[in-house]
């Protein structure tokens, strides 16, 4: 495997993994938010609600952190992916095929995420 293919494979994996991590924290945030709301409406102990809010805030900060990590990884991936797309030999590889698939999936998911956030 050439260095360019290896780099493409690595960058593809990192972009895919960091996107999944970002989505995971968003889902966890939604779950924790519902939990805090439920605890509040049930009139649960103030200390328990406070601790649940701390978990919620920590999760929220992780969303920001993982998103910035993803953005960096995505830029690196796109640079390598674009360069590979300009090389006919690399375009015929299974690594490029996988990168193309991930690029399309994550690009679409990002658009949906942005639309949902507005």
Distance CA 48, CA 44 (A): 7
pLDDT band of 81, cuts 50, 70, 90: very high
Kindly report, residue by residue over 2-38, the tens digit of the pLDDT.
Answer: 899 999 999 999 999 999 999 999 999 999 999 999 9
Q: What is the pTM of this model?
A: 0.86
**Residues 17/19/24/26 CA torsion (nearest 10 deg):** 160
CA distance to 73, 95, 110, 113, 114, per residue, from 117 (Å): 21, 32, 10, 6, 5
| Average pLDDT value over all residues in the chain | 94
Q: CATH number for the 3-113 domain, one of 3.30.420.40, 1.10.540.10, 1.20.58.90, 1.10.10.10?
A: 1.20.58.90
Spatial separation of the C-alpha atoms in residues 41 and 69, rounded to whole Å? 36
């Amino acid at each position: 495997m050439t260095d360019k293919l290896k780099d493409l494979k690595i960058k593809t994996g990192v972009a895919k993994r960091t996107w999944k991590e970002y989505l995971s924290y968003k889902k966890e945030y939604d779950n924790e938010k519902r939990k805090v709301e439920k605890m509040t409406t049930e009139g649960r102990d103030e200390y328990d609600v406070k601790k649940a809010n701390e978990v919620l805030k920590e999760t929220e900060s992780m969303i920001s952190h993982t998103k910035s990590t993803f953005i960096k990884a995505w830029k690196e991936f796109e640079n390598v992916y674009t360069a590979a797309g300009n090389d006919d030999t690399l375009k015929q590889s299974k690594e490029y095929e996988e990168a193309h698939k991930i690029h399309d999936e994550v690009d679409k998911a990002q658009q949906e995420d942005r639309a949902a956030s507005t």
